[in-house]
Amino acid sequence: MKAPAVRTARLGATLIARQKWRWGLNAALWTAIYVMPIVPGLITQAFFNRVSGAAAGGLGIPALVGLIAAYGVGRIAVMAWAMWVDIHFRFRNQTLLRRNLLTRIYERPGAQALAETPGEALTRFREDVEETDETVSWTVDLVGILFFLPVALGIMASIDARVTAFVFGPMVLVVLLAARARDRIRRYREAAREATGEVTGALAEMFGAVPAIKVAGAEEAMIAHFRRRNDTRRIALVRDKTLTQILESLFWNSVSIGTGIILVVAARGMTAGEFSVGDFALFVYFLGFVSECVWVVGMFIARYQQARVSLGRLATLLAGAPPERLVERRDLQLTGSLPDPAVEAAAPEPLRRLQVEGLTYRYPGTTAGIAGVDLDLPGGSFTVI
């Protein structure tokens, strides 16, 4: 079944709105995690300037070391708190998506609840829900980057704007490359997800039809069919993972390229005394964090396309319901006492007789079925049709 068109950004924003306070706290904590490294960067600059004699005044080396230690303790505390909040945020996102999917499936007639095999549906419940939630979770990283990058680049440009421009030119090219590859990323992810669903569905069908397969003597044919499905999945997954790893390699190798550019461009300034050892240490220190930010932005572009595929696959499980049903507000009942289970009221009196006249049913889209059936069933009787 072709995946329906979904508004990825709109559904993601609605999912965030369902936990706006928790997302806000999560974004604030991760913003602190991204911004805090500016402090040890400046301390590192002061330390090397002090050691090299480029700066005579200011804090002494013991004080600078103490500040680094205090920073480390504070960063660990903030990271632990951020991880705790992020886990709760993501768990609720995944639970909401799965709850809404399951509710919609239960609303459907039993014979039409799933257009796919149960195995393929389970793949969507697991992998596609996790992919969607992962992308939404990365939005807090983008907020932190928006605060960190301008400050870090401003500090570096104030020291040497020419070196800063040379260093981050390749990183901008890498991000543009990731943006241009978004269509290919989406195609490869669609093929990988479809192939995985087909393998899971075939496996579930084989386990559910073992007696029939043995009676028909079709063991070899089923194994060959399953092997072909796995070969298709292997090719699709290798393409998907290879493209993702190529992009990741480009992002991380830009760090080494940037360091080399710093050494080449800043060598003359260091010789002339215009670029101190502390300035060099600050540039190299910030380069790692800025490169990580560039990697996050580039990978978010890739993940956004993958989430678009996953949301489309989840929307097919809604069987005609609007995609907004995926993020419909619900009480997940994760805290407090569980509600009492609903108990159906007992019939006021036992069934004595069931009479049906003109019973008619047609299978959807066909003329097959029954028509004009009359039944008269006394209570307690056993009738075979």
Q: Which helix (H) or strand (E) holds 222?
A: helix 219-271
Tell me: pLDDT of 2 over 60: no
For 181-212, how does the pLDDT look when each residue is reduced to its tens digit (9 = 90+)? Answer: 777 877 887 788 788 878 887 887 788 788 88
DSSP secondary structure letters along 44-84: HHHHHHHHHTS--SSS-HHHHHHHHHHHHHHHHHHHHHHHH
Q: Where are the domains of the chain?
A: 8-327, 353-385
Range in 20-24, 164-168, 207-211, 281-285 with the lowest mean pLDDT: 164-168
Predicted confidence at residue 94, as pLDDT, reads 93
Quick check: pTM over 0.85? no
Both tokens of 284, joined, read 């190299």
Q: Which CATH number fits domain 8-327: 1.20.1560.10, 3.30.2310.20, 3.20.20.140, 3.60.21.10?
A: 1.20.1560.10
Predicted confidence at residue 91, as pLDDT, reads 94
Q: Which of 98, 123, 113 is nearest to 229 (CA)?
A: 123
Predicted confidence at residue 297, as pLDDT, reads 81
Both tokens of 20, joined, read 């706006």
Tell me: pLDDT of 38 over 70: yes
Of the ranges 34-43, 74-83, 272-281, 302-311, the best mean pLDDT one: 74-83
Predicted confidence at residue 163, as pLDDT, reads 77
